[in-house]
Amino acid sequence: MNSKLTRENVIRWAPALVLLGLVVLFTAINPAFLTQRNLARIALAATPPMMVALGVTFIIVMGSIDLSMEGAVSLCAVLFCLIFLKLGGSLGAGAWLAIPAILICGALYGLLTGYVHVRLQIPSFMASLAMGFVGTGAAVLVTGGDIVRINDDVFRALLTWRILGFPLMVHIAILLILLAWFIQNHTTLGRNFYAVGGGEELAHASGVNVRRVRLAGFALAGVFYAIAAIFQVARLGQAESVTGANLMFIAITSVVVGGVALWGGIGGVLNAVVGVLIVNVIGNGMVVIGLPSYLQDGLLGVLVIIAVVLSTDRRLVSFAK
């Protein structure tokens, strides 16, 4: 094994080692951190941002960025509640149709974001940021600023029904992670994401329809945002125009911390998973060890910077912008 290969392996496993180090650190300070109850709490809190992070990972791998997730989640959440109630307010009464309906809405929302970016040739950060505001505004419009609640016990089983100590939605999230990993590694679309992220002109010369791949990527991301919206509703029992608030920071930070390169072509689903767990472990750990709340945000920022430094191969970065 030569030194270059050893360094690559260290960089590859750095996010996982950071996660393991954090778990050991917080457990050493307070053994209650590693109890099943607390791990279930971490997993539950990580579930919605995990879905958002999976969606935006496909976009970042293509070398673009998507900042529309907060508006997308808020709009999908309120639409899901409204459709759910319109169909009887119970999964057993036919309201289950709200699930595929909202997944289609999420895909269309993502497709529209991609269209604005690709067809109108607007930079992805600006197009998606604008579409995020459109989504939030639309959520306010359809609800009139009110809160929409769901009281169906069957639907809330996503939160209340536990298997091996973990809520049902955590197990579903694991299956969705495997699905995202399969799309990334075993489909033509997943391989094309990396081709576009590695070099758009080269991908085009190789016969890849770059525009179509980008549109598909945004639509796929929209589906995962819609799933995040369903999980948020299951956790909260309600939806409103700010249901998706704060998900953008957590998702983008998690993806970068996990080792997905913002310039595209590097990283993937598993990096995003580790990144989300790192951010949530840091947040939970600070609570468990009793750190004052006024210090938590500042320390979270410092720890995130340290995690990025440890998990990024800066030899591959010519400059930071």
* pLDDT tens for each residue of 147-191: 999 999 999 999 999 999 999 999 999 999 999 999 999 999 999
Closest CA to 313 of 10, 63, 60: 10
Please indicate, yes or no, if residue 4 is contained in any of the structural domains.
no
- Assign residue 212 the CATH number of its domain: 1.10.3470
Sign of CA dihedral 149, 155, 158, 161: positive
DSSP secondary-structure letter at 223? H
Please indicate, yes or no, if residue 50 is contained in any of the structural domains.
yes
Q: What is the pLDDT of residue 320?
A: 47
Greatest mean pLDDT range, 5-9, 249-253, 292-296, 316-320: 249-253
- Give yes or no for a contact between 192 and 212, defined as CB atoms under 8 angstroms apart: no
**Tokens representing residue 57 in the block:** 């990972």
Please indicate, yes or no, if residue 170 is contained in any of the structural domains.
yes
Rg of the chain on CA atoms, in Å: 20
Please indicate, yes or no, if residue 14 is contained in any of the structural domains.
no
pLDDT at 321 over 60: no
Please indicate, yes or no, if residue 38 is contained in any of the structural domains.
no
Regarding pTM above 0.85, the answer is yes
Q: Three-state DSSP class for 163?
A: strand
Please indicate, yes or no, if residue 313 is contained in any of the structural domains.
no
Please indicate, yes or no, if residue 194 is contained in any of the structural domains.
yes
pLDDT at 265 over 90: no
Average pLDDT over residues 19-31: 91
Please indicate, yes or no, if residue 39 is contained in any of the structural domains.
no
* 120/136 Cα distance (integer angstroms): 22
**Residues 17-50 as b or e (16 or more Cβ within 10 Å = b):** ebbeebbeebbeeeeebeeeebbbbbbbbbbbbb
- Give yes or no for a contact between 139 and 145, defined as CB atoms under 8 angstroms apart: no
What is the band of 313 on the pLDDT scale with cuts at 50, 70, 90?
Answer: low
For the stretch 120-145, pLDDT in tens is: 999 999 999 999 999 999 999 999 98
Find where tokens 């709340």 sit: 293
Angle between helices 69-86 and 98-118 (to 10 degrees): 150
Which residues constitute the domain of residue 115? 46-307
* 102/78 Cα distance (integer angstroms): 10
How many independent structural domains does the chain possess?
Answer: 1
- Give yes or no for a contact between 260 and 12, defined as CB atoms under 8 angstroms apart: no
